Amino acid sequence: MEMKLNIKVWRQKSRDAKGGFETYPVTANSHMSFLEMLDVLNEDLIKQRKEPVVFEHDCREGICGTCSLVINGQPHGPSAGTTTCQLHMRHYKDGDTITVEPYRAKAFPVIKDLAVDRSAFDRIIQAGGFISVNAGQAPDGNSIPIEKDVAGRAFEAAACIGCGACVAACPNGSAMLFTSAKISHLGHLPQGEVEADRRAMNMIHQMEKEGFGNCSNIAACEAECPKEIKLENIAFMNKSYLKAVFSGRD
């Protein structure tokens, strides 16, 4: 079904430039994804010899986490457990005004329009998101027995795609859900035990260095996470950090 929409989108030329909202009419189809609707908007702007809206995207399959937008005040839009690229226009009605803006956080500076710099996440992972393994042929997948519930918790944490919705949803701009997911992913597995203490210390210190805020304990991060990462990972991270402190590795 065809629908006419008003897209109120944030425009900002550069990190240091002053930004503001501009509203554009768009004719979309209810079967389109949200990003396809933005493609139509950009095609219209190009035909009018206007600069298209810059936004990030890659896989468009809910895997990569780059399609990070705040839509009507909600990271990734109104659908629970859904990335922006998986959001479809059937959730909106003819005549709706949709506000689209970038993630707002001190550690996520705007690059241009809707695109933000999330390299802080990369530096957190670089600080400790690795394990020590012997080089050479890959070991057999069943050579290290792991209890099913332990493996399950690790896999659930590993589902984090690093989109940053948790940061955008948190009033304090906290990255604790993201960081805890990365610590839990490796910390639950025997392969990650060697660096467990160092990983917790280094990743948390890097998180603080990047300027992310503290956990607000309102659980907005869990509610807006497209992969439904659980708050229990933050508890695991705090436990790992305290263990490292009392082990004298600070």
Q: What are phi and psi of 191, to 5 degrees?
A: -65, -20
What are the contacts of 148-152 at 24+ separation with CB within 8 A? 150/188, 150/189, 151/188, 151/189
pLDDT at residue 193, as a whole number: 87
pLDDT < 70 stretches in the chain: 141, 248-250
**Angle at the Cα of 227 from the Cα atoms of 223 and 233, rounded to 5 degrees:** 75
What pLDDT is attached to residue 130?
Answer: 83
- Location of each CATH 3.10.20.30 domain in the chain: 2-111
H or E segment and range at residue 170: none
Per CATH, the number for 118-133+144-246 is: 1.10.1060.10
Q: What is the pLDDT of residue 143?
A: 76
CA separation (Å) from 120 to 71, 88, 124, 229?
A: 23, 30, 6, 19
In this prediction, residue 250 carries a pLDDT of 53
Check: CB of residue 62 under 8 Å from CB of residue 82: yes
The single-letter code of the amino acid at 168 is: A
Locus of tokens 């990190």: 15
pLDDT score, position 181: 97
| Class of the domain covering 2-111 | alpha beta
- State both tokens at 39: 């493609």
Residue ranges of the chain that CATH labels 1.10.1060.10: 118-133+144-246
Distance CA 179, CA 190 (A): 19
